[in-house]
Amino acid sequence: MVLCMHAFWTNDIVKIEEPLQNYEVRHKMKDTSSVSRCNKSSKNLIGYENDNRDKALIIYSEMPKCGSGTFVRILSDVCKYSKHYRTKYTWPTPSPVELQSVESKQKYVSSKILPLRPYIFMGHLSFLDFIELGNKQPLYIDIVRDPVERWISLYYYKRVSPFHIKRLNLTRKERNRTMDNCMKIWISLTGCLGRSIKATADCLKTKPYMGCKDEKIVSSYPTWFSGQYINSSLMSLQRAKTNIEKYYTFIGITEHFEETLKAMETILPSFTNEFTRMFKTTRNQNVGHNKVRPSDDNIDVIKELLSDDYELYGFIRQRFYKHINCLAINITKH
């Protein structure tokens, strides 16, 4: 019998903040030879390790604030009708400190994940190397988003989430501060005010954080796809890219959410069109929050702070377009 558990999710809103055709122009994206070509027979990109995979285990590693609330709801609802996978939302997931040793990782995987197969794990887990633990690698999936838009979404989500309000002990005044206001406080208190965009960002990186609670802006994607559960000295852009190429069955992007769903149900075993059908019934149910965008200058500073995120995001986007083409899925123009 299929066990379908609905659980905690956030109310992300799937929204395009910028015309997609402008992205490559703004960021001067170039194709690189490191982005794999397509293997049409296997539906995977060349470089992906298809052998020694546990197809009874799908892990949605769930990078926060990239449409995850919508996708979790779709996966949870689909499991009502599918006979192939159990689903369960895991929150909170173990902290990096809790899973530092191989023994602690083995205990967590063997007791909390493997017994539930056939199973779709949903939760903020980041990459965890199952091969290191003596198991087959699961089918990893995730979704990413333009880094600045992700941070804007995350900032305003924390201002309405009871969990984060309590965790940060936010006063009403602090909850009502705009992201722009927090950036101005941070830049002013650090003495980085009055410099060029790049110089301001470089200055902020070298100073102790001063500003609104829990709002230091740093790149997250390299850590996420390197894996939180390794020594921090081993985390790098290259490690993240290698994990993505070898172990991620598919990584979608929020800006092309419908195409992401079509790709997931095409490449993952035992699905047909359930994801896209369910999306049509859930797409208008999420509730967005009032977001006041930072000024153009502050957005430019944030982009400089997130330069590593943008490098990895561009890498993932290039792979996404190649994979979509490989799966014969048309891109919808917005």
Structural domain boundaries in the chain: 20-146+220-326, 149-206
- pLDDT of 283: 61
Please give the backbone phi and psi of residue 53, each rounded to the nearest 5 degrees, phi first.
Answer: -110, 145
Which contiguous run of DSSP H or E holds residue 167? helix 162-168
Average pLDDT estimate for 206-216: 91
pTM: 0.88
Q: Rounded to an integer, what distance in angstroms lies between the CA atom of residue 13 and that of residue 65?
A: 9
Predicted confidence (pLDDT) per residue in 233-252, tens digit: 999 999 999 999 999 999 99
Q: Rounded to an integer, what distance in angstroms lies between the CA atom of residue 236 and that of residue 311?
A: 12
Burial of 103 (0-12, 13-18, 19+ CB in 10 A): exposed
Please give the backbone phi and psi of residue 211, each rounded to the nearest 5 degrees, phi first.
Answer: 165, -155
Residue 18, token pair as written in the block: 């910028």
Contact, 318 vs 29, CB < 8 A?
A: yes
Predicted confidence (pLDDT) per residue in 273-328, tens digit: 999 999 988 765 445 567 899 999 999 999 999 999 999 999 999 999 999 999 99
CATH class held by domain 20-146+220-326: alpha beta
